[in-house]
């Protein structure tokens, strides 16, 4: 199987199709996407093995979101049954959990790398009157730790972004799925960066528009009540681009 290279304008199509999916099944799309983000956050916050548990859930949650978006685009409501179907399938469950193991390795290495490179800098941060002194933070910001962590995390995302769908829909081995996912992202690095920039810009515009409107009608004290659903919507739109990306890069869901 040969992955395709998306064009420079593809990110705008991905975003447009993601918005279309949300428009066709707004409650279903928000439900599955926020469930995924919430579950990953809760598991990741657990002590000791939280990050590992979150990593194990990631492949299943990814399939929930991407299958849900596919269903919405085809006029059906996203369903949680995909989670149970994948877990009941012993072969798929085993493969997805192995993808989770690889994702966990990247996450743990990224976290430990940050601690290793940042510890000397963070130790120089000062707390004055119970508050963090931001001047000391800026003077001793762990740039090396931040850059190394971002690189490792990005490599992990590239290796596992499409891997769950590749093992589920293309019947690939885990190694092959990791390979195709990584190089599928690498070959489309420009389109991916454009998509991230567009999503960031779209998020900032929406957030600033809401803040401006609230300030105009003197409701800034209730900003949280308005920004929260907007945040849910923007998060859903961002994740809904996964299915259009998959279609452009890897095609349909049949195995090759």
Least confident of 84-88, 99-103, 105-109, 225-229: 225-229
Alpha carbons within 13 A on the beta-carbon side of 123: 6
- The answer for residues whose C-beta is within 8 angstroms of residue 161's C-beta and 6 or more apart is 181, 185, 242
Residue 32 CB: number of other CB atoms within 10 A?
A: 29
Q: What proportion of the chain, given as a percentage, has pLDDT over 70?
A: 97
33 has a pLDDT exceeding 70: yes
* Rounded Cα–Cα distance for residues 45 and 54 (Å): 9
Least confident of 4-13, 150-159, 189-198: 4-13
Least confident of 3-7, 60-64, 96-100, 123-127: 3-7
Given a contact cutoff of 8 angstroms between Cβ atoms, the answer to whether 68 and 78 are in contact is yes
Q: What is the pTM of this model?
A: 0.88
SS3 at position 128: strand
b/e for 155-185, b at 16 or more Cβ within 10 A? bbbbbbbbbbbbbbbbebebeebbebbbebb
* Rounded Cα–Cα distance for residues 67 and 240 (Å): 10
SS3 at position 132: strand
Segment 137-159 shows an average pLDDT of 93
Place of tokens 């401006």: 212
Q: Give residue-wise pLDDT tens across range 215-231.
A: 888 888 888 888 899 99
């Amino acid at each position: 199987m040969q992955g395709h290279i998306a064009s420079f304008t593809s990110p705008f199509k991905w975003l447009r199709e993601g918005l279309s999916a949300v428009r066709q099944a707004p409650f279903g799309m928000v439900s599955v996407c926020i469930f995924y983000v919430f579950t990953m956050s809760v598991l990741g916050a657990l002590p000791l093995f939280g990050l590992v548990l979150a990593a194990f859930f990631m492949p299943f949650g990814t399939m929930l979101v991407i299958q849900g978006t596919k269903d919405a685009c085809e006029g059906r409501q996203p369903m949680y049954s995909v989670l149970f179907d994948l877990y009941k399938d012993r072969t798929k469950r085993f493969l997805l959990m192995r993808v989770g193991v690889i994702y966990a390795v990247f996450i743990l290495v990224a976290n430990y790398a940050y601690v290793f490179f940042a510890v000397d800098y963070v130790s120089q941060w000062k707390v004055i009157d119970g508050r963090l002194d931001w001047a000391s933070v800026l003077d001793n910001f762990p740039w090396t730790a931040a850059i190394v962590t971002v690189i490792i995390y990005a490599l992990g995302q590239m290796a596992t972004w499409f891997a769950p769908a590749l093992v589920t829909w293309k019947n690939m081995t885990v190694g092959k799925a990791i390979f195709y996912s990584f190089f599928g992202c690498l070959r489309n690095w420009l389109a991916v960066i454009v998509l991230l920039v567009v999503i960031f810009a779209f998020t900032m515009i929406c957030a600033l528009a809401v803040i401006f409107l609230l300030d105009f009608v003197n409701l800034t004290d209730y900003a949280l009540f308005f920004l929260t659903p907007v945040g849910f919507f923007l998060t859903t739109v961002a994740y809904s681009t996964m299915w259009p990306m998959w279609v452009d890069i890897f095609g349909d869901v049949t195995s090759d």
